[in-house]
Chains A and B, each alone.
Chain A
């Protein structure tokens, strides 16, 4: 992880990203709904609800080719680094950045890994719930979002609600059911002066939840 350096996409990464975006569209007809923010190539951290491996593919399918080439999903090393094949898929094909929950050496510290990506001018996709969520409630957010925002306040934090993906590809399944999906991009959230960590995380979570277009959440 220490030798993390990001270049422009390799041919394999470009092909994978174009192919997966086309596949995401064919299966889910995915459409972005820009509700409070606009597509832009400025540096951003997209944070989203997480129910499925397909989440980040759907989200990046909503970005332009140019943005996609500098946007990296953050994935758990415990899962994606488990075998050579998984690591190859995550890093060499999907250009994800792996972080470790049980890190030991300082250069494995997730925050410094993510900051090093931001410092190379790239954008991030993170799932602040920390895991794929099986319940119907959005889980409490982990602190990463707050720490990143405090360290790099000029990077925009965009909440992104990914709709229906838990029905398309639930945790534990590998064949997707074709259902229509939307990704709702909300207004940027920023840490207010002297805002305390937990208050900010609750506010960011509420901002994400507010984007859920379902009229009632009783299912």
Chain B
């Protein structure tokens, strides 16, 4: 596994260095003051350096690193989601429980690989008990809206995100001890697809995909990004249990889900009247702005691998 990780790290280093140099040259040549797009591009690339560095560090701590990192990502994402949606004073204990009980318990289930409870704890127990607690408080004002927002909050920020470290619990024959590479594959392909869609959209984007939801998504960006990230998937098949063809198909499905995740996140933001979820990552917005695609891709990727590749 060392060999594959070294190749990934060198590859990411080369890609990011190329991006930084390109942005530097573009900025040096562009008329001053720099356009907002160029400033934002440089901020985004700088943030990528930090994110890749953090992921790499977490990678070296293996199962501990991944579980803790994604629990923290869930925390940041949930905080952004709950901040944005409506809640009332009587929701205090339910909100506390989402941070103080749901996140730790879900990640404990990941840690102990208790698959049976991991998949139903949130969609069954939390989905039934949280509205029950809210009803017991007796405050029915905008009841359905409040419980729906709470359920979506933990679904997106905790349940979906926790499927990334849960990849470590899968038992793929002939791939033992290398599951970290599945996480690397998923993240590189899905985040790579975001970047590729951004690049194709900026270079060739003409026809808007859905003007009412997200003005920045174009057909050209989508098709270019999906084709390129499927190729990227095939290229990375050497770190997976998949053949190159399988890897590109899996990448295609994951990235399509990722695109839909971005679309849904945009629709929620538009409904709530904001542009970004938060300000945690300079140039990108909040944690959910960066992970919205991963959120939709992770559970599907998890179940594809579990269904077709595990015993």
- Which positions in A face B, CB cutoff 8 Å? 29, 31, 164, 166-167, 170, 173, 175, 177-180, 215, 219
Does B273 interact with chain A (Cβ within 8 Å)? yes
Bound CA–CA A170/B273 (angstroms): 25
Q: B92 and A179: CB pair below 8 A? A: no
Instruction: Chain B residues near A215: list those with CB within 8 A.
Output: 273
Interface centre among A31, A170, A180 (most CB of B within 10 A): A180
Bound CA–CA A164/B84 (angstroms): 10
Contact of B99 among A166, A177, A180 (CB under 8 A): A177
Given known A164-B83, A219-B86, contact A180–B96 (CB-CB < 8 A)? no
Q: B87 and A167: CB pair below 8 A? A: yes
Instruction: Chain A residues near B92: list those with CB within 8 A.
Output: 170, 173, 177
The digit string for B73-93, where 1 denotes a CB below 8 A from any CB of A, is 001000110110011110010
Closest-CB distance, A27 to chain B (whole angstroms): 9
Q: Which residue of B lies closest to A163 (CB)?
A: B83
- Which positions in B face A, CB cutoff 8 Å? 75, 79-80, 82-83, 86-89, 92, 95-96, 99-100, 273, 278-280
Closest-CB distance, A163 to chain B (whole angstroms): 9
Q: B86 and A179: CB pair below 8 A? A: no
Number of A-B contacts (CB under 8 A): 32
Q: A180 and B79: CB pair below 8 A? A: yes
Q: A170 and B89: CB pair below 8 A? A: yes
Q: A179 and B82: CB pair below 8 A? A: yes
Q: A177 and B82: CB pair below 8 A? A: yes
Bound CA–CA A170/B92 (angstroms): 8
Instruction: Chain B residues near A164: list those with CB within 8 A.
Output: 83
Instruction: Chain A residues near B89: list those with CB within 8 A.
Output: 166-167, 170
Contact of B278 among A170, A178, A180, A219 (CB under 8 A): A180
Bound CA–CA A64/B144 (angstroms): 43
Bound CA–CA A166/B95 (angstroms): 13
A/B interface sample: 17 pairs, CB < 8 A: A29-B79, A29-B280, A166-B89, A175-B100, A177-B92, A177-B95, A177-B96, A178-B79, A178-B99, A179-B79, A179-B83, A180-B79, A180-B83, A180-B278, A215-B273, A219-B86, A219-B88
Query: Which 7 pairs between the two chains have the least Cβ-Cβ distance?
Result: A180-B83, A177-B95, A179-B83, A178-B79, A170-B89, A177-B96, A215-B273
Closest-CB distance, B81 to chain A (whole angstroms): 10
Instruction: Chain B residues near A166: list those with CB within 8 A.
Output: 89
Closest-CB distance, B277 to chain A (whole angstroms): 9
Instruction: Chain B residues near A173: list those with CB within 8 A.
Output: 92
Bound CA–CA A173/B96 (angstroms): 11
